[in-house]
Amino acid sequence: MNTHNRKPSRRFAVIGAGGKTGRRVTQRLQSQGHSVRTLSRSTSPAFDWAQAHNWPAALQGIDALYVTYQPDLAVARAQEDIGQLIRCAKDSGVEHIVLLSGRGEAGAQQAEQVLITSGLSWNLVRASWFCQNFSESFMAQGILDGELCLPADTIREPFVDTDDIADVAVAALTRPALANRVFEVTGPELLTFAECVAEISRQTGRPIAYRTVAAEQWLQVLQQQGVPDDIRDLLKELFTEVLDGRNASLSTGVTEALQRPPTPFATYVRKTIDAGLWSPAVTD
């Protein structure tokens, strides 16, 4: 059999491979037998958004790239950084970029346009609030402590499972027919933060309270806890601007990419309990 004209397997890289979605995208690609270069500040080669001179080495030999931007595409410097990354990717021979973005964030959409108009093959995965923020991020400690306090009252959000986000991203990376599309991904239901906490409480079988606090009071607590200024500024924008009802609607991106419905919040809770992520305080 003549194999000289066979196209070699695509080589993937994941920027932010240690994050909630990056870790999952890496695992899925590897389980499918793909070669994956994980990129972060601690990898070799390293990738640091503040060290652009190291990017060419990190991207050399890569065909397709999954990008998560830290701390968030909504920050002021994101548009410039994404533009510089795209130029470097082109020079390095990258053919396709899948970019994780945030739903309802004007700043993020500016960065999105840089990719859309880049001339590269692209996909955007525009996600609502992650379910996993309750178990793998800044809200997890409140769940473990039995009381979650946030500056969010009755606004409803279509919380999305990061397993769904990763499945969509991998589909976009590996299926050329999906290229040059925006996949806006949400969960299948609109829930308040209080309703999410109530579901976690119900399934874990222990009392967990939800309390609404003023944004400034909450931000002061974050400052006392040593949360960096840029992260506090981002959280302030998310809770005082983005979480204003603009995202209180469902999207079909998960179904469009995967031909299946998105994961309900209650299913995420059950998976999280089974994985033991809330186990230090869970009783049967």
What is the CATH classification number for the domain harbouring 175?
3.40.50.720
Residue 140 maps to a domain: yes
Query: Under a CB-based contact definition with an 8 Å cutoff, are residues 131 and 161 in contact?
Result: yes
For 186: left if phi > 0, alpha if psi spans -120 to 50, otherwise beta; the answer is beta
Give the alpha-carbon dihedral of 69, 74, 77, 81, to 10 degrees. Answer: 30
Number of independent structural domains in the chain = 1
The answer to whether 127 and 96 have CB atoms below 8 angstroms apart is no
Helices then strands, each counted (H, E), the chain: 11, 8
In this structure, which amino acid lies at residue 256?
E
168 is a domain residue: yes
Global pTM reads 0.93
Q: Is residue 137 part of a domain?
A: yes
Residue 231 lies in a domain: yes
Q: Which parts of the chain register pLDDT below 50?
A: 1-7, 281-284
Give the residue numbers spanning the domain of 153: 11-270
In a domain, 229, yes or no: yes
Whether residue 4 is contained in a domain is answered as no
Measure the CA–CA gap between 277 and 281, rounded to whole angstroms: 10
Does residue 282 belong to any structural domain of this protein?
A: no
In whole angstroms, what is the distance from residue 26 CA to residue 135 CA?
20
- Say if 156 falls within a structural domain: yes
Query: Buried b / exposed e across 18-30, counting CB within 10 Å, b at 16+?
Result: ebbbbbbbbebbe
> Which two structure tokens, joined as six digits, stand for 109?
């959409």
**String of b and e for 57-96 (b: at least 16 CB within 10 Å)?**
ebbeebbbbbbbbbebbbbeebbebbeebbebbeebebeb
